[in-house]
């Protein structure tokens, strides 16, 4: 019987060990989201609401102008929602500050008009960027409030109102602060009363009418539901009447949007945020009508690989392991996107359908054209313009991320089997003497790796303590530490059951089982004329050999050894005899009935 063969396989094991000393690819984390929020405050918040900066060149960090003022209201509303979710799950003082600033910014967009109508955007007439912004938004109409010294952009669309009501509705529930809730109640009442007093029509101070909500029952009832929630005494009777009159009309605009396909894709973002507040706040007898409208919408959008829409669906429909795992993957991929407006032309790189610039399947997130909010853009689009001078705010990351934290798809610190794919963000099962990764924020003050195969218990001043289900605390051997990731070994002797993992004042949990199989890599070995696939993994050694089964392309193969690799702490090795197999082999490993992540290997 062939046993360890670990000297013959030394090369792959050394390569594997070097991987354990390095951080994995980008993973969504609090640190990423907070960094984006800080950048928004520094560079996207010149006049109290969201704008995007323009830089002198693609290589420059000198702001020379601001743009996208016409959509400031909608994205300020989305930003408010993001910071509200953040405050709810972290209690961070700066998140509360940002919430209050966003509410004040939206209030400013109402006050500046002088009539209670919502402005798209406002900016000081004395700003060095005022002339450029006014020129960019001239088609929407530029108004001046001489008493405040501000100019503002009119022609306010339904989009802007939907974004603002979405943010205010979320913040009212997510932020348990009397002052915040009072401000929201007053602001919602002002906005909603203006629309209702003008027959659900947006009227500018000069009498022009850019849009109407007539025919959009979903939006009217969504806004009314937020009003009822924030000011029940004022709207209780009106809500009952409006709901009874308009409920049956709610699916109509949704059906029209779905029938129109991907054209004007931003319409689906409006549908999602409007139905979110309508459905989650509703307990009327018409609830099934509203959920039916959402089912119609999700039936079309469900395959579009959209992290934000996925999170809305999670909130309204509950957990779904496939969808929720995809959401984490999409957030992971968002971190690989450029932050500025680079030109994109993927024509010919993906199969097209319908037209040459529309892919048949959603384009991978890292490659999609740049935009202000990714999830409102056609995911099949293959081209996009840009010169690298406009920076997007990143609200399309922080909003679905903090929602994922609130709805428990992502935890602030999570312990996972180090061999599992990086799309796993909630804690997974580990085993005694297995290799684990801890992800979070502020885990260490420096980055460092163990200098030898003999692992230290303190690295760059960082110590990880594992306290098992019996209350026994042990220091963990460390491979690698950084502010956002630590790779370590679950200490020998750790009892089965729930364990607490503590570092830098933070504690998370993980379930410790007898086995927790995960595979890092595979290699091929020819020994004495026989061929073996050698798997390198972790969480395997505590099982009997008879409890380890392997298949290659679905055919059972003989496992000749399964246990410690013995050169490196926590690393396990499995030897599988593969006689007569050629080409690509899909290897599946099961240990004590627990499946490891599948791997493939090319056999001669």
Q: Are 231 and 188 in contact (CB under 8 A)?
A: yes
- What is the C-alpha separation between 120 and 159, in angstroms, rounded? 10
Residue 137 CB contacts under 8 Å (≥ 6 apart), including other chains = 69, 70, 120, 121, 153
Q: What is the CATH number of domain 10-15+517-603?
A: 2.60.40
pLDDT of res. 130: 98
Check pLDDT > 70 for residue 300: yes
pTM score of the predicted model:
0.79
Check pLDDT > 70 for residue 427: no
pLDDT of res. 8: 42
Residue 234 CB contacts under 8 Å (≥ 6 apart), including other chains = 189, 227
- What is the C-alpha separation between 194 and 203, in angstroms, rounded? 9
What pairs with residue 212 in β-bridges?
201
The domains of the chain are located at 10-15+517-603, 411-513
Check pLDDT > 50 for residue 9: no
pLDDT of res. 196: 96
- What is the C-alpha separation between 156 and 489, in angstroms, rounded? 57
Q: Are 560 and 543 in contact (CB under 8 A)?
A: no
Say what percent of the chain tops pLDDT 90: 79
CA 128-147-149 angle, to 5 degrees, is 5
Check pLDDT > 60 for residue 7: no
Check pLDDT > 70 for residue 548: yes
Check pLDDT > 90 for residue 341: yes
- What is the C-alpha separation between 173 and 144, in angstroms, rounded? 35
pLDDT of res. 139: 97
pLDDT digits (tens, 9 = 90+) for 18-53: 555 555 555 667 878 999 999 999 999 999 999 999
DSSP code at position 495: P
Reported as a pLDDT band with limits 50, 70 and 90, residue 243 is confident
Which CATH class for the 411-513 domain?
mainly beta
pLDDT of res. 18: 52
DSSP string, 514-533: S---EEEEEEEEEETTEEEE
Reported as a pLDDT band with limits 50, 70 and 90, residue 523 is confident
Task: Give all strands (DSSP E) within 455-578, no chain letters.
Answer: 465-467, 473-475, 478-481, 485-489, 497-503, 506-513, 518-527, 530-538, 548-552, 555-564, 572-577
pLDDT of res. 506: 84
* 10-15+517-603 matches 411-513 in fold: yes
């Amino acid at each position: 019987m062939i046993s360890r063969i670990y000297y013959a396989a030394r090369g792959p094991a050394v390569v594997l060990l070097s991987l354990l000393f390095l951080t994995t690819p980008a993973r969504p984390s609090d640190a990423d989201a907070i960094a984006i929020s800080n950048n928004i405050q520094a560079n996207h918040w010149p006049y109290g609401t969201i704008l995007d900066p323009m830089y002198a060149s693609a290589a420059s960090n000198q702001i020379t102008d601001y743009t996208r003022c016409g959509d400031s209201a909608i994205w300020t509303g989305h930003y408010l929602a993001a910071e509200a979710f953040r405050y709810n799950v972290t209690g961070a003082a700066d998140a509360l500050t940002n919430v209050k600033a966003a509410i004040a910014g939206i209030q400013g967009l109402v006050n500046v008009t002088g009539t209670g109508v919502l402005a798209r955007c406002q900016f000081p007439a004395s700003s060095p960027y005022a002339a450029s912004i006014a020129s960019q938004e001239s088609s929407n109409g530029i108004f001046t409030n001489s008493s405040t010294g501000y100019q503002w952009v009119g022609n306010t669309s339904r989009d802007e109102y939907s974004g603002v009501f979405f943010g205010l509705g979320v913040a009212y529930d997510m932020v348990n602060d009397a002052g915040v809730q009072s401000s929201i109640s007053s602001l919602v009442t002002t906005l909603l009363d203006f629309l209702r007093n003008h027959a659900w029509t947006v009227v500018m101070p000069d009498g022009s009418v850019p849009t109407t909500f007539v025919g959009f029952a979903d939006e009217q009832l969504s806004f009314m539901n937020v009003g009822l929630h924030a000011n029940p005494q004022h709207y209780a009777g009106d809500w009952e009447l409006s709901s009874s009159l308009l409920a049956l009309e709610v699916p109509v605009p949704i059906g029209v949007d779905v029938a129109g396909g991907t054209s004007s894709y931003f319409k689906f973002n409006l549908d999602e945020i409007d139905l979110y507040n309508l459905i989650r706040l509703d307990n009327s007898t018409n609830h099934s009508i509203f959920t039916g409208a959402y089912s119609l919408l999700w039936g079309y959008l469900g395959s579009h690989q959209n992290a934000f829409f996925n999170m809305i669906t999670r909130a309204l429909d509950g957990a779904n392991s496939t969808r929720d795992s995809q959401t984490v993957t999409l957030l992971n991929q968002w971190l690989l996107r450029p932050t500025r407006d680079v030109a994109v032309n993927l024509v010919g790189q993906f199969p097209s359908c319908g037209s040459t610039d529309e892919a048949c399947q959603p384009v991978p997130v890292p490659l999609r054209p740049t935009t202000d909010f990714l999830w409102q853009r056609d995911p099949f689009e293959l081209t996009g313009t840009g010169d690298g001078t406009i920076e997007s705010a990143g609200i399309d990351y922080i909003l679905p991320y903090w929602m994922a934290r609130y709805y428990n798809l992502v935890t602030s610190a999570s312990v996972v089997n180090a061999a599992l794919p990086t799309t796993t963000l909630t804690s997974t099962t580990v085993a005694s003497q297995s290799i684990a990764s801890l992800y979070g924020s502020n885990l260490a003050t420096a980055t460092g790796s163990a200098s030898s195969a003999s692992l230290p218990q303190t690295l760059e001043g960082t110590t990880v303590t594992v306290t098992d289900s019996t209350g026994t605390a042990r220091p963990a051997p460390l491979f690698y530490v950084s502010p956002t990731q630590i790779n370590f070994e679950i200490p020998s002797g750790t009892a089965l059951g729930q364990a607490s993992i503590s570092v830098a004042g933070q504690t998370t949990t993980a379930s410790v089982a007898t086995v927790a199989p995960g595979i890092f890599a595979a290699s091929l070995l020819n020994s004495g004329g026989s061929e073996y696939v050698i798997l390198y993994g972790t969480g395997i050694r505590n099982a009997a050999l008879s409890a380890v089964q392997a298949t290659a392309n679905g055919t059972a193969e003989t496992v000749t050894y399964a246990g410690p690799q013995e050169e490196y702490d926590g690393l396990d090795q499995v030897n599988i005899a593969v006689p007569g197999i050629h080409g690509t082999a899909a290897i599946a490993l099961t240990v004590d009935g627990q499946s490891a992540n599948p791997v493939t290997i090319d056999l001669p």
